[in-house]
């Protein structure tokens, strides 16, 4: 089970990351010029969203349907994927974050993401 404080710690452990509000949700962004979001956390903390390719999304939803599900809107069609935090462990969370972070970060930062 992932709690909000653990999700924040994992999100902010990837370089360069920052937390900023996104409407009434928390968002975690690559802290470089465009500040692209790689993860969001709603106030209820039941799930978190990451931003993958549709192919990555399909792979995770098929492999771990109790953890991952497609965001039920147009963003989900583009790869936005929810993570059920009560069913997730830290290794799985870090793996999903790494995929999402790589889409948000400029290529020159990709070597900075190291496995724990």
Asked whether the whole model's pTM tops 0.85, one would answer: yes
What pLDDT score was predicted for residue 65? 97
Structural domain count, the chain: 1
- Report the CATH number that the domain containing residue 91 is assigned in CATH: 3.90.1150.30
Q: By residue range, what is the domain housing residue 79?
A: 4-112
What is the per-residue pLDDT for 114? 60
- The tens place of each residue's pLDDT in the chain, 116 residues long, gives 999 999 999 988 887 888 887 888 999 998 776 789 999 998 898 999 999 999 999 999 999 999 999 999 999 999 999 999 999 999 999 999 999 998 998 888 777 766 55
Q: Quote the pLDDT of residue 113.
A: 67
Calpha distance 59→86 (Å, rounded): 20
Nearest-angstrom CA–CA distance, 89 and 3: 10
Cα distance between residue 60 and residue 63, in whole Å? 5
3-state secondary structure of 28: strand
CA nearest to 26, candidates 51, 52, 7, 53: 7
């Amino acid at each position: 089970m992932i709690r909000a404080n653990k999700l924040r710690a994992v999100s902010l452990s990837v370089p360069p990351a920052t937390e900023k509000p996104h409407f009434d949700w928390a968002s975690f962004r690559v802290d470089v010029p465009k500040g692209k979001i790689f993860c969001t956390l709603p106030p209820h903390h039941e799930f978190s969203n990451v931003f993958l390719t549709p192919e990555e999304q399909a792979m995770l939803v098929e492999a771990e349907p109790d953890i991952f599900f497609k965001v039920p809107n147009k963003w989900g069609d583009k790869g936005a994927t929810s993570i059920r935090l009560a069913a997730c462990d830290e290794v799985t969370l870090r793996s999903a974050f790494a995929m999402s972070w790589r889409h948000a970060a400029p290529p020159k930062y990709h070597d900075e993401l190291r496995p724990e």
